[in-house]
Chain A
Amino acid sequence: MSFLRRRKPTLTPSSPNSDHNNDDSDVDNDKERKTIREEKRKNTNTRWSCLDNCWWFVGGVCTVWWFLLFLYNAMPRSIPQYVTEVIAGPMPDPPGIKLAKEGLKANHPVVFVPGIVTCGLELWEGESCADGLFRKRLWGGTFGELYKRPLCWVKHMSLDNETGLDPPGMRIRPVSGLVAADYFAPGFFVWAVLIANLARIGYEEKNMYMASYDWRLSFQNTEVRDQTLSRMKSNIELMVATNGGKKVVVIPHSMGTLYFLHFMKWVEAPAPMGGGGGSDWCAKHIKAVMNIGGPFLGVPKTLAGLFSMEAKDIAIVKAFAPHVLESDVFHFQTLQHLMRMTRTWDSTMSMIPKGGETIWGGLDWSPEGHYECNTKQHKDNHKPSVKNMNYGRLISFGKEVATLHSSKLERLDFKGALKDKKHVNVSICDVWTEYHEMGIENVEAIAKYKAYTADSILDLLYFVAPKMMKRGDAHFSHGIADDLDDPKYNHYKYWSNPLTTTLPNATDMEIYSMYGVGIPTERAYVYKVNSDSECNIPFKIDTSADGGKEDSCLQGGVYSADGDETVPVLSSGFMFAKGWRGKTRFNPSGIRTYIREYDHSPPANLLEGRGTQSGAHVDILGNFALIEDIIRVAAGATCEDLGGERVYSDIFKWSEKINLKL
């Protein structure tokens, strides 16, 4: 049918055109007959051509489209489900329905703490270029404005480079309520599935609370500017009071776990700096903290982000199409613009790997030592591993350096190198990143140091981005405390680092770490110096560095280890496997900790969308097993009722290798 229609227009130009030409050129014997015909057709036929064809074609397409749309809407809702069931067998009930049948009821109020990036931000005051966007989402939703006015968008999303707060004349504020982070973009759920399942057993807005906060700011600044921590405290107290004194179950996700660590210290600290809730606030108000994919000890991905604005995804794009990123949204220098923006976001620094070489490994060792990337998939028991990965070298310049033994490495110290500005023509590059102040000499100095561990990487960041790190230093710490009773640890900058704080005194509380495993996760990088031009970011991931065999952990310049695609197991699991287990100096009251791992398996078919058994960092929020665990706890269960711990990875083995004073 449609084929026929389409053919017609292709034929059309022939006849009218010929007629038209006849009128002009042919003055032969046909003249008399023609004049008769002309009278009929002259006006009508002359310009039936391309334009009309176009319209005809557009009309046809539109009509067919509408017709199909109509059919689709007229289709009963159960058909796609029916089809799936025929193909894949009956679907399992969503956990909410299943547990509602078991008779579970809403019991403890629930608090969601969203992570970085997932929470929407809206405009409250802006410059004239952002006219008409009042209370519209700049972050989250469709991101329409990013395409319409990219420079304006970047300007508004950036913070002040000195204070880390709003630039003058701009106010961007977090969206509040459950809508803040239920969907990140249309159709891309974050909390929505969990909320829907909780609603099945009777939850509603009076006993669910989304603790949305401005994830760009440092944690303490959210309180200074928006009083976010006070709001969270007040809302938790309100929910406990209006739900018959039932304590809350807190569910932080991703960076939210660090934010909530900060909150727990803040709320019990005395008033000027803290919330003044008293030393038993947590014991009185919190039943359990169920961390989902928590980067307790940081994420190596952040390093790549801060250092060269690359994560694996971007690095690959860059390799395939070198100029796409440079020329697309912002005309040029996309990456630089993004880098300038993200470097004003203090919160990113909360995820720089913490604990230095003690945790992440030195030049020649790492806790994960013999991890083999693809064994997970085969589920074979302990293949002898071939190569020793040096995960400890978080950044190495060149593939050889990454594998060389440390005694053979020749390193030159970069810290003494002078920053000379004369080599750089700052005016050419409208985009300002701190790299332009560095000069070529320094770039080389950095490259000559060759390998960076979790300790020296901090020095590196201080060197390449001094202003950013200065702000970060005031709000976050990345070390390990020797003596936790030292009064300096009462400062808020230590509160979000689990290695420099103690857990609150709340013996009845339970802390869970729930995360996905079985997906290769970025752990270390191979870099090279970017020789293009001075306006570019001078370093980039060496995407040509590939481990020879297909199953090597080195792919496209990135060493990967087990994790949930973003956070390595080490970061989300270590504190629970060892650091807080039993009574340690970090956990003086002996709060019980549990690890619940969820093995990743990709969605079985397209209709499942992002999968009901996924272990990926965000998709895990739709994992049925995880949702079931959460609902059970919210309905009153303890971890013993869930069947205790559930571990697939080697986290306990790796934790043993880490020598941390407990």
Chain B
Amino acid sequence: MSSVRRRRGSEAQSKEIQAEENNKEEEEEEKEHGEDDNDKNKKKKKMKDEKSKEKQEKKRKWSCIDSCCWFVGCICTVWWLMLFLYKLMPASLPQYVTEAITGPLPDPPGVKLKKEGLTAKHPVVFVPGIVTGGLELWEGHQCAEGLFRKRLWGGTFGEVYKRPSCWAEHMSLDNETGLDPPGIRVRPVSGLVAADYFAPGYFVWAVLIANLAHIGYEEKSMYMAAYDWRISFQNTEVRDRALSRIKSNIELMVATNGGNKAVILPHSMGVLYFLHFMKWVEAPAPMGGGGGSDWCSKYIKAVVNIGGPFLGVPKAIAGLFSAEARDIAVARALAPGFLDNDLFRLQTLQHVMRMTRTWDSTMSMIPRGGETIWGGLDWSPEEGYTPSERKQNSNNTQLTGQETNKTNVNYGRMISFGRDVAEAPSTEIEMTDFRGAIKGHSVANTSCRDVWTEYHDMGVEGVRAVAEHKVYTASSIIDLLQFVAPKMMARGSAHFSYGIADNLDDPKYQHYKYWSNPLETKLPNAPDMEIFSMYGVGLPTERAYIYKLSPYAECYIPFEIDTTAEGPDEDSCLKGGVYTVDGDETVPVLSTGFMCAKGWRGKTRFNPFGIKTYIREYEHSPPANFLEGRGTQSGAHVDIMGNFALIEDVIRVAAGAKGEDLRGDQVYSDIFKWSEKIKLRL
């Protein structure tokens, strides 16, 4: 249809133009023509015949621009028409179509529970995770003019494309202090808008907020504890008074809601942030908030952690070590030159790495607890796990599954150089200690095209020494990071700690750097409080990596994930250089579940007052159709915030239910089995 139209148009137009060219001759005709066409036909025809030869030639000259115009106009008009029709369409039509196809949709949990008669009771506090909170500019350099109070992070990210290096400059922090660089102030957005949508259409908290609103919540009973997720937890208080604000707002909400205690909903890194907060608020004034030792029991009903990386995330290591996660590694394998020259012209990854390495908060997610938790050279808590087994989800297949997968993945070796190393028994690996290796300053060309990453200080010798150590466990990986990024880790170790406490009463554990590590702090004295850990399961999640030396020149990051390393068959845990295990695509089950399954269960030394803990797992199933968007049964790290089952649980808790009312634990994974294997003194 359209092709036909287009042809006609171009020819017709060429004719007009031709007609215009012969304007003088035709002028009379044109006038008379308007009055009466038929009478003048003969005359006209003669002239036309004479011209017909010329026409053929002139057609081509004009067709291009005119047909372009015609085409654009056509498209625009059709577009507007469609848009108009779309707007005219009643709002219920898409829903109607869906219902016709898939049967009636279930009510959103908010509507369903409202019908059950639930109403708003406990005030709710959201603690967003890393990356999901918006950041806006309050003061910037010349290049960021006109961006005052515009979002640099979140929203459309328009500025990344318009002025990438300016953007990276403003998003970076000072490499020494971990605070603002001089002349730049980037601050978190406040209010519910801070993290309801990450980008237009990509919800984070919005679905949950909308459902809570159904049972009567509004801004006076909901609070978004937005903080600058780039800086270390204690620094959010030092710079922005973020912890004081949370304290004051919780106190206000409890007071104005008739003394009903708050329900806290931390997500992702917010979980660690809130652990930090609970210690901070009860600690005495200069370092802490001075709320007194019963603050938590007075103000908090329940902490409902969603996808919390209590014990860290292996992904964080890949990010810090080589600015790669699996997604990036795959992109690199497919198009090697792509990432290196797209946004910043060159060295995208190095720019990104330089930026992310100034963000102290990333270090809060380095795996904690060392080999005790994550496994050593020859064992790991998850060993024997096969991805296929969970899918069948029945007890009978378990035995066969274990037998067939005799390969026995060594998840404990979080980074290995080469696939053979990853699979070899530990006795056969020759490890050379890298710690003493001299960093060859002379070899490295520091002026390396402006971008500074600490790798340039390392030199070739240092890189080789790292590779020759071959295998790194959760313990030695911290040494590795200290070797390759000493400045970053110097900042990090002032704010975070990754060990296990021997004696929790040691006064040194009163320092704030231990507050966000559940293995080095006690839970507060609040026996009525409840702690939930809600997370998705059933998605392959990064757990260990196979690395190789980067073949490029010295200006590049010298290590990269070996994407050629593939497992023996489709079901294997090894894909593209990454060993995967059960989890929510970002955080492995071990990290989200262990503390609630064992570390804090009952009265332990980490939980001296016996706060009740519950595990609620949500099995992932992908969205049934496109209209569901990111799915109402998703278990993925962020998409789980739209999971109806989870939302229902959250609403019930907010409306007053206890863990028992939700029927206690809900477990699909092997978390309890795995936890048993971990020998942690309790």
Which residues on A are within 8 Å of B, measured CB to CB? 5, 7-9, 11-12, 14-18, 21-22, 25-26, 28, 30, 33-34, 37, 41, 43-45, 47-48, 52, 54-63, 77, 124-125, 131-132, 134-135, 171, 173, 176-179, 182, 195-196, 199-200, 204-206, 226-227, 230-231, 234-235, 237-238, 241-242
- CB-based contact A48/B9 at 8 Å: yes
A18–B17 touching, CB < 8 Å: no
Interface residues of B (CB under 8 A from A): 7-9, 11-13, 15-17, 19-20, 29-30, 33, 37-38, 40-42, 44-45, 49, 52, 66, 68-77, 91, 138-139, 145-146, 148-149, 185, 187, 190-193, 196, 209-210, 213-214, 218-220, 240-241, 244-245, 248-249, 251-252, 255-256
Residues of B within 8 A of A22 (CB): 41, 45
Once the chains bind, are A234 and B213 in contact (CB under 8 Å)? no
A59 touching B74 in the complex, CB below 8 Å, given contacts A14-B33, A177-B190: yes
Q: Contact: A63 with B72, CB < 8 Å?
A: yes
Given contacts A22-B45, A59-B74, A134-B210, contact A17 B69 (CB under 8 A): no
The answer to whether B191 touches A176 (Cβ under 8 A) is yes
The residues of A that contact B69 with a CB separation of less than 8 Å are: 5, 56, 59-60, 63
Not counting A48-B15, A52-B8, A56-B9, a sample of 11 additional A-B residue pairs whose C-beta atoms are within 8 angstroms of each other reads A11-B16, A22-B41, A26-B41, A44-B8, A48-B8, A59-B75, A125-B213, A195-B149, A227-B220, A230-B252, A238-B245
CB-defined contacts of A48 to chain B, threshold 8 Å: 8-9, 12-13, 15
Q: Once the chains bind, are B73 and A58 in contact (CB under 8 Å)? A: yes
Tell me the smallest distance from the CB of A372 to a CB of chain B, in Å. Answer: 44
Which residues of the other chain, A, contact B185 by a CB distance below 8 angstroms? 204
In the bound complex, what is the Cα–Cα distance between A354 and B481 (angstroms)? 72
Q: Once bound together, how far apart are the Cα atoms of A176 and B42, in whole Å?
A: 77
By a CB distance below 8 angstroms, the chain A residues around B73 are 54-62
A26: chain B residues at CB < 8 Å are 38, 41-42, 45
Q: A77-B146, A177-B190, A226-B220 are in contact. Are A56 and B13 (CB under 8 A)?
A: yes
Say how far B81's CB is from chain A's closest CB, in angstroms.
Answer: 12
Question: Which residue of chain A is the closest to B18 with respect to CB atoms?
Answer: A15
Lowest 7 A-B CB distances belong to which pairs? A59-B73, A48-B12, A58-B73, A59-B72, A55-B73, A59-B69, A177-B191
* Chain B residue, CB-CB nearest to A172: B218
Q: Shortest distance in angstroms between A223's beta carbon and chain B's nearest beta carbon?
A: 9
Please give the distance in Å from B217's CB to the nearest CB on chain A: 8
CB distance from B235 to the nearest CB of A (A): 13
Query: Could you say which of A59, A63, A131 has the most chain B C-beta atoms within 10 Å of its C-beta?
Result: A59
Q: How far is the CA of A179 from the CA of B192 in the complex (A)?
A: 12
Indicate if the CB atoms of A177 and B139 lie closer than 8 Å.
Answer: no
Contacts A77-B146, A199-B138 given; indicate if A58 touches B191 (C-beta within 8 A): no
Among B9, B19, B42, B248, which residue has its beta carbon within 8 angstroms of that of A15? B19
Query: Once the chains are docked, how many angstroms separate the CA of A356 from the CA of B245?
Result: 45
A135 to B191, CA, bound (A): 12
Are A238 and B20 touching (Cβ within 8 A)? no
**A234/B30 in contact, CB under 8 A:** no
**Contact yes or no, B219 A11, CB < 8 A:** no
* Known pairs A134-B213, A177-B190, A226-B220; A55 contacts B15 (CB<8 A): no
Complex Cα distance, B149 from A230, in Å, reads 27
Contact B41 A52 (CB under 8 A): no
Residues of A within 8 A of B187 (CB): 204-205
B-chain residues with CB within 8 Å of residue A178 when the two chains form the complex: 149, 190
The CA of A274 and the CA of B220, in the complex, are separated in Å by 19
A37, A45, A179, A206: the one within 8 Å of B15 (CB): A45
Contact present for A25 and B9 (CB under 8 Å): no
Q: How far is the CA of A173 from the CA of B219 in the complex (A)?
A: 8
| A44 touches which of B12, B17, B20, B68 (Cβ 8 Å) | B12
Main secondary structure of the interface of A (DSSP, over half): helix
CA distance A154 to B392 in the complex (A): 56
15 CB < 8 A contacts A-B: A8-B66, A12-B16, A14-B33, A18-B40, A45-B15, A48-B13, A52-B70, A56-B13, A58-B73, A63-B72, A125-B213, A206-B245, A226-B220, A230-B255, A237-B248
How far is the CB of A217 from the nearest CB of chain B, in Å? 13
Bound form: Cα–Cα A33–B249 in Å:
90
Closest to A24 in B: B38
A45 engages B11 (CB within 8 Å): yes
List the B side residues contacting A131 at CB < 8 Å: 91
B12 and A241 form a contact (CB under 8 A): no
Contacts of B209 in A (CB 8 A): 135
The residue of chain B having its C-beta at the shortest distance from the C-beta of A30 within the complex is B45
Q: A22-B41, A52-B12, A173-B219 are in contact. Are A124 and B145 (CB under 8 A)?
A: no
Contact among A14, A177, A196, A226 for B193, CB-based, below 8 A: A177
CB <8 Å contact, B148 and A55: no
Whether B91 contacts A132 by the Cβ 8 Å rule is yes
Chain B nearest Cβ from A69, distance in angstroms: 14
Closest approach, in angstroms, between the C-beta of B6 and any C-beta of chain A? 10
* CB neighbours of A57 from chain B (8 A): 73
| CB <8 Å contact, A11 and B19 | yes
A199 contacts B148, C-beta separation under 8 Å: yes
Q: How far is the CA of A338 from the CA of B138 in the complex (A)?
A: 40
Q: Which residue of B lies closest to A225 (CB)?
A: B220
Looking at the assembled complex, report how far the CB atom of A14 sits from the nearest CB atom of chain B, in whole angstroms: 5
Q: Is the CB of B148 within 8 A of A21?
A: no
List of B residues within 8 angstroms of A235 by Cβ: 248
What A residues does B252 contact at CB under 8 A?
230-231, 234
List, in ascending order, chain B residues with CB within 8 A of A182's CB.
Answer: 149
Q: What's the nearest-Cβ distance from chain B to residue A191, in Å? A: 11
Cross-chain contact B191 with A11 (CB below 8 angstroms): no
Shortest beta-carbon distance from B340 to chain A in Å: 28
Whole-angstrom distance between the Cβ of B435 and the nearest chain A Cβ? 43
B68 near A59 with CB under 8 A, answer: yes
Contact of A43 among B8, B40, B70, B77 (CB under 8 A): B8
Q: Is B145 touching A77 in the complex (CB atoms < 8 A)?
A: yes
- With A45-B8, A63-B72, A230-B255 known as contacts, the answer to whether A8 contacts B37 (CB < 8 A) is no
A12 vs B219: C-alpha distance in the bound complex, in angstroms?
62
Query: Are B191's CB and A179's CB within 8 A?
Result: yes
Name which of A14, A22, A28, A230 has the most chain B CB atoms within 10 A of its CB: A14
Set B29, B30, B74, B138: member contacting A55, Cβ < 8 A: B74
**Chain B neighbourhood of A14, CB < 8 A:** 19, 29-30, 33
**Nearest opposing residue in chain B for A125, CB measure:** B213
Residues of B close to A237: CB separation below 8 A: 248
**Nearest Cβ in chain A — how far from B484, in angstroms?**
35
B26 and chain A: residue at smallest CB distance: A14
B138 to chain A, nearest CB (A): 5
Cα A632 to Cα B40 with chains together (Å): 83
Using Cβ atoms and an 8 Å threshold, which residues of chain B touch A206?
A: 240-241, 245
Report the bound CA distance from A177 to B187 in whole Å: 14
> A28–B42 Cα gap in the complex (Å)?
9
- Are B251 and A204 in contact, with the CB atoms below 8 A? no
Given the interface pairs A15-B16, A206-B240, A227-B220, the reply to whether A55 lies near B8 with Cβ below 8 Å is: no
Q: A56-B73, A59-B76, A132-B91 are in contact. Are A25 and B256 (CB under 8 A)?
A: no
A135-B251 Cα distance, complex, nearest whole Å: 25
How many Å lie between the Cα of A57 and that of B70 in the bound state?
7
- B273 to A: closest C-beta gap in Å: 17
With A62-B76, A230-B256 given, is the CB distance from A11 to B30 under 8 Å? yes
By beta carbon, the residue of chain A nearest B29 is: A14
Query: Which residue of chain B is the closest to A17 with respect to CB atoms?
Result: B37
Is the CB–CB distance between A59 and B71 below 8 Å?
yes
**Min CB distance, B584 to chain A, in Å?**
27
Closest to B226 in A: A205
Are A52 and B9 in touch, CB under 8 angstroms? Answer: yes
With A54-B73, A59-B73 given, is the CB distance from A205 to B190 under 8 Å?
yes
CB distance from A608 to the nearest CB of B (A): 17
Kindly provide the distance from the CB of B662 to the nearest chain A CB, expressed in whole angstroms.
26
Q: Which residues of A contact B240 (CB under 8 A)?
A: 204-206
Closest to A49 in B: B12
A281 smallest CB distance to B (angstroms): 16
Measured between beta carbons, the chain B residues less than 8 angstroms from A7 are: 20
